[in-house]
Structures are given as structure tokens and as C-alpha cells.
Amino acid sequence: MLRHALRGALLGVGVAGLLLSATSATAKSKWEEAQHPGFSFEGPLGKFDQGALQRGFKIYSEVCSSCHSMNLVYYRNLAQPGGPFYNPKYPNPNDSPYAKAIAADVKVPDIDQDTGDAIQRPATPADHFRNPWPNEAAARASNGGALPPDLSVISKAREDGPNYIFSLTSGYPPSPPKGLTVPAGKYYNPYFPGDLSSFWSGPKDKVPKGGFIAMPFQLTPNRVTYDDGTKATTYQEAHDVATFLDWASDPKQEERKQTGLAVMIYLLVFAGVVYGSYRAIWRNVAH
Amino acid sequence: MSGHSTYEPKTGFERWLDVRLPIVRLGYDSLIDYPTPKNLNYWWTFGGILAFCLGVQIISGVVLAMHYVPNSAMAFNSVEAIMRDVNFGWMLRYIHANGASMFFLAVYIHISRGLYYGSYKAPREVLWLLGCVIYLLMMATAFMGYVLPWGQMSFYGAVVITNLFSALDSVIPGLGTMITTWLWGGFAVDNATLNRFFALHYLLPFMIAGVVGLHIWALHVPGNNNPTGVAVKSKEDTVPFHPYYTVKDGFAVICFTIMFAWFVFFAPNALAHADNYIPANPLQTPAHIVPEWYFLPFYAMLRAVPDKLLGVMTMFGAIAVLFAVPWLDTSKVRSMRYRPAARTFFLIFLAVTLILGWCGSKEPDDVVIATGHDIAGDPTGLSVTVFSRFLALYYYGYFLAVLPLLGFFEKAKPVPETISSPVLSAHGHGVAMPAGAAAEASKKG
Amino acid sequence: MVETANANPNVEHGHSAQPGDEGSRRDFIHIAAIATVGVGAVATVWPFIDQMNPSADTLALASVEYDLSKVLVGSTASIKWRGKPVFVRHRTPKEIAEAVADDHAPMREPAADASRHKPGKAEWLVLIGVCTHLGCVPNLGGTYGGWLCPCHGSVYDTAGRIRAGPAPLNLFLPDYEFLTPTKVKIG
């Protein structure tokens, strides 16, 4: 029996070794690995930092929202449990004065029910975030043919989401590497996926990592003034907006992790009790 | 379901019902008093785990269908609405999405157990064939389910898989195109395709449940195989299913659920692809498309062959060959516990299949073993595609050469006379194994 | 293969003893296991039931605001609220008078006209336009100048009170308030 186990273990080690060596030998990545600044919501028990969510929402509404829609996020979401403006005094997010006030400051398009005219009315908590563009064609026309992606689920829709958002938004170099021809209306970013070899005039084995992105560097220091007095560095702004976008992608994350903790405790107790029952039943059977 | 029933109706109502519809008797004979070999190990609990998985998928799926909208304009947003707005919707959707992976994990262990212990051999060929049918139905169901969220991976998964049939154009010109057009209900994967996939995704699990019923029926006629592969000879070899195996299977299901729950609550997207959270865009394919992990070995075989039709045939053949296994294996000994050579080949087969899966997740031009560098500094050498070719050869070789030939050449270890004898010898100094017991056991089997 | 032996749980097995024939400590573990199953089953069933309750986006639309100035005297507007019609009726002085005059007439659910509208707003009648019989939407009409249900002939008066037919109750009043003299918020 022991010999079998040994042989199995050896085989397993062999396979693992082959896989490892194989992984290391594959083609090198054409863009930079995302940095890991560390987020409060990481790990099985991580939670969102409400201050960071509020600051991140401020960045979104004052910077990102002029080009990026968030069609799946509603003003009411801001005040729901776990949201940036949740307050236990207002358990119903639709009645929260925060959600109402934030929504009321925004004008959203609607149809006048009597005349049929297109109008702009103040938003309510039931409205989704205002879309800066009337349609996709308008968005492309204003952005040199590129479509600014909807940010509702962007953190789930990118590998290593929050780290990628942080790295991309804060990782623009002061100037592109010498020898790289940057097309008009494009910007070099080492974290953006792409293949730059045809734009590179330097040595073939020194092609810069990264790609061209249609969004210029946005998160300059003091781009916004934080209400809580936090210093608005590029790093802080990128960190906050990544936190906010990760929450927006997965607003039930805290609820999920807390439920998971209870489920895990229950299942472990359950397994223990049933194992005891199993041992008792099989006690006298030789098998 | 077979043999003599020991059910005795206790109440008047049970007696009344028993002559009209002996359903209590059926349940009693198949779930309570069903004689089960007493030496089944934990690999045998995966049958129960799979029944659990099927139940979870059907219940969570029916519930999700109450909120999902099978329309190409609304499908993506309706899935997000389930996770954001529906009460516990995030949990239901993550249970269903990760449940598919858990289902396949369990079925692969279940199939491997059958292959190792020779559970496909006479008199259990029909049991094995029905299992293969279930596996095929599972793959169809999982594929169509993966299309429903209508993200980029959903869309291009549907495009690639349906286009497999276009390979038939090289058999009869126009045949493949005709079939794909019929599958799509149009000239591309679109709303009509999504709608019919939803209908079929809802239907197929109930067909699976039906075949599972037959599978259990076909199990209860010859009875369970067991780790020794030796047939049950007497009552001493068995215990009643309840409570012995209800509690053992139950314990295994709970342990399995702990892992399942870990994914659902703490890593719900770990087995998924980020690109599937980008709504389907027929105008742009993601840079790197791969199927779900449970299809990767077959995907690697598809890419290993440079010809379209042959690649598709290689892939489907890898599944089809499973149906022939009962007749490919010529050994008289059931369990590989007593077939050292076969066991080695089998373990290599498992490793090869896993590595094929790894190959499927890589890009075809990625290099497995580097022998040099090109001008851009990228490694050159053995590519994933070429490596997959060797692995696919072994995969087929295991079924088409090793299993048929090994039965004639290998020297099996002595097989115990009864299930109980190795137990006795393990616990103390006991019973010497009679030489030639292997052949004897197989004559009876 | 040899026919499987039929094990009878009542027959002594070679090496096995029957479970449950031991002391109470052994029994306890089985009872504990079954109890744990029960707790888990109840906790698991709840999400599957609760998912059918209104979702957050449905609840978010649970109140509407309506500008009354569009409803002329003597006419009735229907607005959709929570998937159902709300009747907003701008009553004429004659209709109000008829309703008040009938305050003491025999009725299935007696109610004064004053209890059917907001104080000082007798001209505005705001009702849920769903027959209290089996849920159809009543049409304008009927012998009392109010509504007549097309399904089973329930008749409501100009205050929405049931006067004839099978319906048991008066038309319900939604929660509403006047935000301005010409604007109501329903819900």
C-alpha cells in the first residue's frame, strides 16, 4: 500500500514539475504585469473601505463619467448596504437622502408623457448612472473611433481587475520610450494589452511592453478635491477609483463573503457530526 | 430493482398501495435494503455526489430561469440584474455557474474510478454505456448553458463549437454549411441561436435525469463493482445500503460541498474567464479564447491536428472511444489493483489527459520546451500544438493499443477469492491468496 | 457474475453489528446528525423562496409622482403604479354632492365620502383601479355614476364604494400625498 502511495506521489511530483517547467518556458508577456497596491477587500474576509468608495465615486463622477457610462449601476445602489453612501438609518436605499440628493444633481433624458418631447429631468434613485453619450456612434465619433467601455462590470471583465485598473490609470510614463512611434490620438501605456513591435524602431528584442490606449492620462495630482481632506495624489486617486469600480462590479461582495463564512462554519460542524455518525455505524464492520 | 425483495408492508395503507403501485417497495429495495459490497472506498461516493450535483443544477437552474431573459439584447444585463437585484440572486447564479464545474470534476473522478477498477466489464457494459450517454448529454448541456450569459466567451464559444459541423463541407460540399445555418437559425450565431440554446439547456437536464434513472437501474441489476473487482459471493460480503452507504455518501457529499461552497462564496469567478463579463460583440473576437476547463483536453486535441475535418474527428473520437472500452479491454482481471502494468499505463493516461488540458489552456504557438530564442527574444522549440500531438497519440494508444493488448501479455497479481479475504489478511495474518484465483474469479464474472 | 446475495438488515452480518443497538451515546450522534441536516435544509430553502419576492429594481420603482393639472374636471386618468392602474378622478361638484348624499345609504362597506379623499381635496379621488372581487379593472359607468367592472358586474359609485355586484369591498386607496397643490406622489 505504501509503495503505491509512494509511486503515486512520485508521479504527481513529476507531472507538477513538467507543468512548472513548461509554464516558465512559454512566450513572454507582451505587456506589464499589474502592480499589487493592496486593497481592503482582498481575501476571503476583506471588506470595502467606505471612505475609499466615496472618494472613488467622486473620481468617477468628476473625471471618468464624462466619457464612461455605467449603465448597470443605479443611484439607489450607492445607498444600499455595503455601498459608498449606505447609512443604517435608511435601510431602504430608495428613500435614502444621499441617493436622492446625488441623483437630483444629475439630469437624465426622458420623454414627456404628455407631449412626447425629449426632455431632461432630474434623476431619481431608480435611474441608472447618466450615460454621457446618446448612443454608441456618438461615443465613437467623439473619441477618435474608440469606444470608452462601460465601467459597470469592468473590474470583473479584466484579468486581475482592481490591480489592473490601478496600474493602468496610474501607470502612464511621463513620455513614451524613445523609438516608439505613437499614432495621433493614442497614448502609450505599459499595462494596456497590445503588440507594439510594428511601431518600434529600436532593437527587435527590446520592444516596449504595453499598448496604445485612446484615453490620455487622467489622474493627475489634485484632479479632485476630496471632501474628507485626503491628499489627492495619483496613487490615491487610482487606488480609490479601483476600489469604487470593484464595488460596482460586485456590489454583493461583502454579503457574499459574510454568508460564506456562516456556510463554512455550518458545513464544518455538519461534516464533523456526520463523520461521528458514520464511524458509529461502521464501527463493527471490517472493511 | 432486481432479485428477491425483502420489503414487508407494515401498515394497512402500505399493503393497499403495494398491490397497486409498489413504489415504496421500489424505494426500499433500491435505497434501503440494496445489498452493497462492504469494501467500497471513497472513490465510490462520487455516484452519490453526482446525483447531488444534478439536483443542485436542476433546482438552481429552474430558479434562474425565472429571472433570465433569453434575448440577445437583454441576456447579458438580465444575468447582471440577477446578481445585483434579485434576492440571493448572486448566490443562485454562482451556485449554478460553479456547479457545472463541480459536476464535471465529480464526473471525471467517477469515470476514472470506473476505468481503474474495471467497472465497465461484464456484466456492467450497459451501465457503462449509459454513463457515456450521460457524459455526452452533460457536455451538450454545459456548452449551451455557457452561451446563455451572452458575454464574449459565450458568443465565440458558440461560434467555434457550431462551426465544428462546418467541417462536413469537406465530406459533402454544402452539407456543413447547411447544418450550421440550421443550428444557428440564421447566417451567424444570433438571437435565434440564443433562444433555442436556452430551450435545449432547459430540456437536456431532465433527459440526463431520465438516463440517470436507467443508469441506476443498470447498476442495481448486477450490483456494485468493488475495489477488488471480485464478485459478491455471499451475504458476508455486503451490507445494506442504508444506513451504511447513506451515511458514507452523505459524509462525502458534505466534504464535496465544502469545496463547492468555497468557490461559490470566496472565488466565484476563479474558474470563469474575465472576457465573459464583456457583452457579446460579433465584430470583435477576444485575443485568447479558450473553453471552460472541463473541455480543455478535447480542445487541445482539436488544435493538435492541422486538418479541419481530421481535427474535429480526433476530438469527437476521443469521446466516442469511451463507448468501446468494455470491448477494448481484454483482461480477465477487473481491478487494476491486481494489474501493475495496467495501473502504470492508466496513471500515465491520467497525467497525459491533465497535461492535454493544460495545453488546451495555452496558445498554440506557446513553447513547452525551449531550445533557443528568436530575434525578438521569444523562446523557440517544442510548441504546444506539437506537444499535444504526442499526448493525443498516447490518449488514443491507451484505449486502442494498451487495453486490447495488455490483457494478453501482462502478468496479473493473484486476485483474492472473495471480497472478505483481503480484509481478513489485512487485519492479521491470514489467508494466503490461492494462486490462479484471478482466472477463477473471472470465469465466474 | 454471481448473483448478489440479498442482505437482510434483520439478519446478523458476518462482522457487522446493527447500528443503533448500542447505548444512548451512540444514538446521540445520529440524532445530532439528523438535526444538523434539518437546520441546513431550512437555511438552504430560504434563498430559493426569497428569490421570488420583488427584486431591488422592482422595489425601486414603487412610487410615482403625477401632475394633476393635466386632469380636467369630470375626467379620469389612469396611471400605472406597481403594475396596476391608479385612477385619478377630478370630480365635478355634482359627483361630490351625490357621493356625500349617499353617505348613509345601505352599503356593503359603509364609508363616508370624506374618508375617501384627502381633507380639503374633495375634487381629487385617487383609487387603485382594481376590482376587489377578482382583480379586473373596472370601466367608467354603472348605475351610480362611478365604475362598472366588466368581469362580474360589480358597481362602484363616484367615491369608489361598492354598491352592487359580487365585490366585497370598496376600491382601495393607495398611499399618496400632495407634494404641491397640483402634484401627488403615489406610494
Residues of chain A with C-beta less than 8 angstroms from the C-beta of B421: none
Quote the minimal CA–CA distance from C29 to chain A in Å: 5
Percent of chain B whose pLDDT exceeds 90: 86
Q: Is B232 on the interface with C (CB under 8 A)?
A: yes
In a domain, C124, yes or no: yes
Q: Which of B164, B188, B187 lies closest to B176 in space, CA to CA? A: B164
pLDDT of residue C7: 40
Residue C137 or residue A111, greater confidence: C137
Size of interface A-C (CB pairs under 8 A): 53
Flag if B274 and A159 touch (Cβ within 8 Å).
yes
Residue A239 belongs to what H/E stretch? helix A234-249
Flag if A252 and B424 touch (Cβ within 8 Å).
no
Q: What is the spatial distance between Cα C12 and Cα C9, in angstroms, rounded to a whole number?
A: 7
Number of domains in chain C: 2
pLDDT of residue C59: 84
The torsion of the CA quartet B337, B342, B345, B348, rounded to 10 degrees, works out to: -10
Flag if C1 and B444 touch (Cβ within 8 Å).
yes
Average pLDDT in chain B: 92
**C143 & C62 share domain:** yes
Q: What is the spatial distance between Cα B219 and Cα B248, in angstroms, rounded to a whole number?
A: 18
pLDDT of residue A13: 52
For testing the chain A interface, which of C25, C26, C44, C175 should be mutated: the one with the most A CBs within 10 Å?
A: C26
Write the residue in C15, C17, C60 that is nearest to A126 by C-beta: C60
Quote the minimal CA–CA distance from A243 to chain C in Å: 23
**C170 & C100 share domain:** yes
Question: B445: pLDDT confidence band, cut at 50, 70 and 90?
Answer: very low
CB A177 within 8 A of CB A201: no
For residue A94, what is the nearest residue in chain C, using CA coordinates? Answer: C60
Residues of chain A with C-beta less than 8 angstroms from the C-beta of B277: 153, 156-157, 249
Flag if B274 and A285 touch (Cβ within 8 Å).
no
pLDDT of residue B188: 95
pLDDT at residue A18 tops 60? no
In a domain, C9, yes or no: no
pLDDT of residue B111: 98
Q: What is the spatial distance between Cα A192 and Cα A209, in angstroms, rounded to a whole number?
A: 9
Residues of chain C with C-beta less than 8 angstroms from the C-beta of A80: 56
Write the residue in C16, C39, C60 that is nearest to A125 by C-beta: C60
Question: A266: pLDDT confidence band, cut at 50, 70 and 90?
Answer: very high
Average pLDDT of the residues in A203-207 = 86
pLDDT of residue C58: 86
Find chains touching chain B: ≥3 CB pairs under 8 Å: A, C
Residue with cell 440564443: B194
pLDDT at residue A100 tops 70? yes
pLDDT of residue C9: 41
Label the pairing between strands A211-213 and B35-37: unpaired
* Boundary-marking domain end, from C6, C38, C53: C53
**C166 & C131 share domain:** yes
**C135 & C161 share domain:** yes
pLDDT of residue A9: 52
In a domain, C45, yes or no: yes
Q: How many C-alpha atoms does B160 have within 13 Å on its Cβ side? A: 21
pLDDT of residue A287: 63
Flag if C51 and B6 touch (Cβ within 8 Å).
no
Quote the minimal CA–CA distance from C49 to chain A in Å: 17
In a domain, C4, yes or no: no
Which CATH number covers residue C84?
A: 2.102.10.10
Q: How many C-alpha atoms does B309 have within 13 Å on its Cβ side? A: 9
Question: B436: pLDDT confidence band, cut at 50, 70 and 90?
Answer: very low
In a domain, C49, yes or no: yes
pLDDT of residue C18: 47
Q: Please state the φ and ψ torsions of residue A47, each to the nearest 5 degrees.
A: -130, 155
Flag if A76 and C43 touch (Cβ within 8 Å).
no
Which tens digits make up the pLDDT trace of C31-65? Answer: 999 999 999 999 999 999 999 999 998 888 767 88
Q: Which of B37, B117, C8 lies closest to A287 in space, CA to CA? A: B37
Write the residue in A94, A266, A285 that is nearest to C60 by C-beta: A94
Cis bond before residue B123 (omega within 30° of 0): yes
Write the residue in B3, B87, B232 that is nearest to C53 by C-beta: B87
pLDDT of residue C62: 67
End-to-end CA distance of chain A: 15
Domain extent for C29: 14-53
CB B100 within 8 A of CB B147: no
For residue B275, what is the nearest residue in chain A, using CA coordinates? Answer: A157
Write the residue in B67, B222, B235 that is nearest to C7 by C-beta: B235
Residue with cell 501482462: B410
**C24 & C83 share domain:** no
**C89 & C159 share domain:** yes
In a domain, C8, yes or no: no
Average pLDDT of the residues in B100-125 = 97
Which tens digits make up the pLDDT trace of B286-321? Answer: 988 899 999 999 999 999 999 999 999 999 999 999
pLDDT of residue A14: 58
Flag if A283 and C61 touch (Cβ within 8 Å).
no
**C115 & C139 share domain:** yes
Which tens digits make up the pLDDT trace of C112-129? Answer: 999 999 999 999 999 999
pLDDT of residue A30: 82
- Active-site residue, C152 included: yes
pLDDT of residue A69: 97
Flag if B347 and A11 touch (Cβ within 8 Å).
yes
pLDDT of residue B5: 85
**C113 & C30 share domain:** no
CB C130 within 8 A of CB C70: no
Q: Which of B350, B324, B323 lies closest to B336 in space, CA to CA? A: B350
Quote the minimal CA–CA distance from B165 to chain C in Å: 39
Residues of chain C with C-beta less than 8 angstroms from the C-beta of A94: 59-60, 62-63
Q: What is the spatial distance between Cα A82 and Cα B81, in angstroms, rounded to a whole number?
A: 17
pLDDT of residue A284: 82
Assessment of whether the complete model's pTM goes beyond 0.95: no
**C72 & C136 share domain:** yes
Quote the minimal CA–CA distance from B301 to chain A in Å: 18
Question: B364: pLDDT confidence band, cut at 50, 70 and 90?
Answer: confident
CB B390 within 8 A of CB B356: no
Average pLDDT in chain A: 90
Flag if A157 and B38 touch (Cβ within 8 Å).
no
Q: How many C-alpha atoms does B239 have within 13 Å on its Cβ side? A: 25
Find chains touching chain C: ≥3 CB pairs under 8 Å: A, B
**C100 & C148 share domain:** yes
Average pLDDT of the residues in A94-109 = 93
Contacts of A197 (CB under 8 A, 6+ apart): A204, A207, B376
pLDDT of residue A7: 57
Percent of chain B whose pLDDT exceeds 70: 94
**C32 & C87 share domain:** no
Q: What is the spatial distance between Cα B330 and Cα B107, in angstroms, rounded to a whole number?
A: 25
End-to-end CA distance of chain B: 20
Q: What is the spatial distance between Cα B183 and Cα B192, in angstroms, rounded to a whole number?
A: 9
Question: B427: pLDDT confidence band, cut at 50, 70 and 90?
Answer: very low
Residues of chain A with C-beta less than 8 angstroms from the C-beta of C63: 94
pLDDT of residue B429: 43
Average pLDDT in chain C: 86
Residue ranges in chain C modelled with pLDDT below 70 = 1-26, 62
**C127 & C181 share domain:** yes
Which tens digits make up the pLDDT trace of B159-171? Answer: 999 999 999 999 9
Question: A63: pLDDT confidence band, cut at 50, 70 and 90?
Answer: very high
Residues of chain A with C-beta less than 8 angstroms from the C-beta of C37: 270
Q: What is the spatial distance between Cα C106 and Cα C103, in angstroms, rounded to a whole number?
A: 9
Strand partners, C81: C84
